[in-house]
Amino acid sequence: MNSAANSRMIEIVHVNRTFQRADGQMVKAVDNVSVVIKEGEFVCLVGPSGCGKTTLLQMVAGLLEPSDGGIAVAGREISGPGRERGMVFQKDSVFPWMRVIDNVEYGLKCRGVPAAQRREIARTYLERVGLGHVEKAWPRELSGGMLKRVAIATVFANGSRVLLLDEPFGALDYVTRHQLQSVLLDLWDEGGAAARRTVLFVTHDVDEALSLADRILVFHSGHLVDDLAVTAERPRSTDSLLLPDMVAIKHKLLAHLGLEKRAKPLAIVQDGAAS
Amino acid sequence: MTLVAPDVLTRPSPSLLSRARILLAILDPLRLAGVVLFVLVWQVLTLGLPAIILPTPRGVVERLVADFWSAPALSYYGVEEANLYGNLIYTAENVAIAVVIGSVIGILAGLLSARFGIIRAIIDPVMMTAGTVPILVAAPFLLIWFGVGRASAVCLVIFYVIVILYLFAQRAATNLDPVYEESARTLGATPAGIVRDILIPATVPEILGGLRIALAGAWGLEAIAELLGSQSGVGKVLEVLAGATDPQGIMATLLMLGLAAIVVDAVAAFAVARTAKWSAASR
């Protein structure tokens, strides 16, 4: 991979996606969104429900096709899913009919990695997410938080350079959510800044976005309405969220979500992606 | 809190557990007590009723043992096989043929109908109609087509098995959460891989459950089809014994049919538990 492609890991160019509602009306879920995401960036997608953030993520995953516009990953236009883009779903996606270790191996198996080698890789990542002791368990024997750990181990084991996470921790309790955030950040950061994978993380939790992201993209009614850099140092603590910069970003986010009065009317960000 | 409870790690594997449970279910003392009570009531009733109306339990069992390998009277009545064993094998063969053919067609049609709307649109009305009409009423029609040989009874049972497994397979595939397929696709699975690793394993427990139901019904339907027109089989035996007013023989034959069905169902239950040990429902 050359460095020119690396600096523009994900390019989303004038992407539109329309759906037909049951009553026949056309709805624009994603409306002319253009954005460039750099390699190694941890980007959170925030917005009220129905704002198009999950639709955009599914298009990057290749599970949905844009009605118009294009998406390129590592310099190549995507069509359909690809293993360089791993996805962690909101729902439990761990296959109940495979043992935990077989789930983690599944992507490697699809690629034809030899059995002994893929088992070793899978074991490594299961250990990293703290589940080395349940590799032979069936998924139904695991709690919701543990299933998310398995899902995270699976995408990391598959070696995807881009990770797409769709409200992965939304259904978890407070403590488990925070534990999993640090599991994710540790894996993301394990090889140092240069080895970081590119992450698109959809969330509706403002504090989650502030503690995880390098950059927060805010969506509203299918539009990209704000693009905020989060520069606070890592690792971030509870105190990090109280830094003046962070509080300022939080106010902006809350305003976008309609929870605080807006200082100024919505402006649609026109990123330079197309140029 | 997200760490697994220690008992998950130490308890025996689910397959062992389910095996033990099936054994226990067969040897459950309460169930045995139910059987004993039934036989007792039966025995008491025989004290007041003549043997031509109600034979004794002991007489029925003795008759079954005696007729199992050799029952010359049956050939006198025009049954090809002059023993119960041969007729049971004939019936069991027909059930096996019908269940294999019917389930292959039913499962394939059911899975395809769940995946492709057009196939569902074409097959659903046929299956729904076939599912509401008691399939047995087609027996005279099949007798016209195929005569009194194996084919008409087998056809009847095939239709029955197809309908049941079509519905079970379709429901299993429709209920499968799309997130599994999406997840497999993002991990790099090919369409063939998705069928092999997602669609089939995910639907197997429910389909095998349907297969057990179809199997249980197939025995009865096959026997009734033979009753209506056949040269051999348990149903044919029942028919001639009824003609000869032989309640003891009828009950001995029914007992044999029931025992055979129970044994086959136990084997099927064991297979379900083995194949679907990941699923909580199979335990």
Q: Give a three-class secondary structure readout of B87-99.
A: HHHHHHHHHHHHH
> Which residues in chain B have Cβ-Cβ distances shorter than 8 Å to A146?
2-4
Best of A58, A89, A93 to mutate (most B CBs within 10 Å, chain B)? A93
193-222 of B, contacting A, C-beta below 8 A: 193, 197-198, 201-202, 204
Helices (H), strands (E): how many in chain B? 14, 0
Q: Which helix (H) or strand (E) holds B180?
A: helix B178-186
pLDDT digits (tens, 9 = 90+) for B197-217: 999 999 988 899 899 999 989
Sorted by sequence, the CB contacts under 8 Å of residue A96 that are 6+ apart come out as: A138, A139, A140, B202, B278, B279
| A266 to A117, A218, A269, B18: CA distances (angstroms) | 52, 11, 9, 61
Residues B177, B181, B182, CA angle at the centre, nearest 5°?
A: 100
Helices (H), strands (E): how many in chain A? 8, 10
| CB-closest option in A83, A86, A110 to B193 | A110
pLDDT at residue A267 in the model: 59
Q: Does B137 touch chain A (CB under 8 A)?
A: no
Interaxial angle between packed helices A144-157 and A115-128, expressed in degrees from 0 to 180 and rounded to the nearest 10: 130
Segment B25-50 shows an average pLDDT of: 84
CA distance B179 to A61: 13
Please report the domains of chain B, with CATH numbers, ordered by start residue.
57-178+206-282 (1.10.3720.10)
| CB-closest option in A95, A107, A141 to B180 | A95
Give the distance from residue B183's alpha carbon to the nearest chain A alpha carbon, in angstroms.
Answer: 6
Strand partners, A46: A203, A218
Confidence of residue B115 (pLDDT cuts 50, 70, 90): confident
ipTM of the complex model: 0.89
Range in A47-51, A260-264, B92-96, B183-187 with the lowest mean pLDDT = A260-264
Confidence of residue B50 (pLDDT cuts 50, 70, 90): confident
Is residue B282 pLDDT above 50, yes or no? no
Q: Does B7 touch chain A (CB under 8 A)?
A: no
B3/A97 Cβ within 8 A: no
Segment B159-188 shows an average pLDDT of: 94
Count of A–B CB contacts within 8 Å? 102
Sorted by sequence, the CB contacts under 8 Å of residue A56 that are 6+ apart come out as: A12, A15, A17, A30, A33, A45, A219
Strand partners, A70: A13
Closest B-chain CA to A177: B2
Q: Does B278 touch chain A (CB under 8 A)?
A: yes
At B241, the amino acid letter reads: L
pLDDT digits (tens, 9 = 90+) for B100-110: 999 999 999 99
pLDDT less than 70: residues of chain A: 1-6, 262-275
Is residue B31 pLDDT above 90, yes or no? no
CA distance B115 to B111: 6
Q: Cβ of A31: how many Cβ atoms within 10 Å? A: 17
Give the distance from residue A112's alpha carbon to the nearest chain B alpha carbon, in angstroms.
Answer: 10
For the A3-99+161-274 domain, the top CATH level (class) is alpha beta
Is residue B1 pLDDT above 70, yes or no? no
> Which residues in chain A have Cβ-Cβ distances shorter than 8 Å to B189?
106, 110
Q: Does B192 touch chain A (CB under 8 A)?
A: no
CA distance B161 to B164: 5
DSSP for residue B198 = I
Give the distance from residue B27's alpha carbon to the nearest chain A alpha carbon, in angstroms.
Answer: 28
Instruction: Give the pair of three-digit tokens for residue B94.
Output: 């027909």
pLDDT at residue B149 in the model: 80
pLDDT at residue B80 in the model: 81
pLDDT at residue B188 in the model: 92
pLDDT at residue B24 in the model: 66
pLDDT digits (tens, 9 = 90+) for B131-140: 787 778 877 8
Percent of chain B with pLDDT over 90: 43
Is residue B9 pLDDT above 60, yes or no? no
DSSP for residue A94 = S
Closest A-chain CA to B185: A81
Q: Cβ of A234: how many Cβ atoms within 10 Å? A: 14
A137/B9 Cβ within 8 A: yes
* Average pLDDT in chain B: 85
pLDDT digits (tens, 9 = 90+) for A140-154: 999 999 999 999 999
pLDDT at residue A272 in the model: 47
| A114 to A108, A110, B134: CA distances (angstroms) | 8, 10, 53
Q: Does B132 touch chain A (CB under 8 A)?
A: no
Closest A-chain CA to B198: A95
Is residue B16 pLDDT above 80, yes or no? no
pLDDT at residue B122 in the model: 92
> Which residues in chain B have Cβ-Cβ distances shorter than 8 Å to A134?
4, 8-9
Question: Which residues from A are below 8 Å from B when comparing CB atoms?
Answer: 61-63, 80-83, 85-87, 89, 91-93, 95-99, 106-107, 110-111, 130, 133-134, 137-143, 145-146, 149, 154-155, 158, 164, 175-176, 179
| CB-closest option in B1, B180, B185 to A81 | B185
pLDDT digits (tens, 9 = 90+) for B229-263: 888 889 989 999 988 888 888 999 999 999 999 99
Q: In what order do the strands lie in the sheet with A10-20?
A: A26-37, A10-20, A68-73, A76-77
B198/A142 Cβ within 8 A: no
B1/A175 Cβ within 8 A: yes
Residue A227, helix vs strand vs coil: strand
Is residue B281 pLDDT above 60, yes or no? no
CA distance B184 to B187: 5
> Which residues in chain A have Cβ-Cβ distances shorter than 8 Å to B277?
138
Instruction: Give the pair of three-digit tokens for residue B32.
Output: 């045995």
Residue A234, helix vs strand vs coil: coil
Q: Does B183 touch chain A (CB under 8 A)?
A: yes
pLDDT at residue A215 in the model: 96
pLDDT at residue A274 in the model: 40
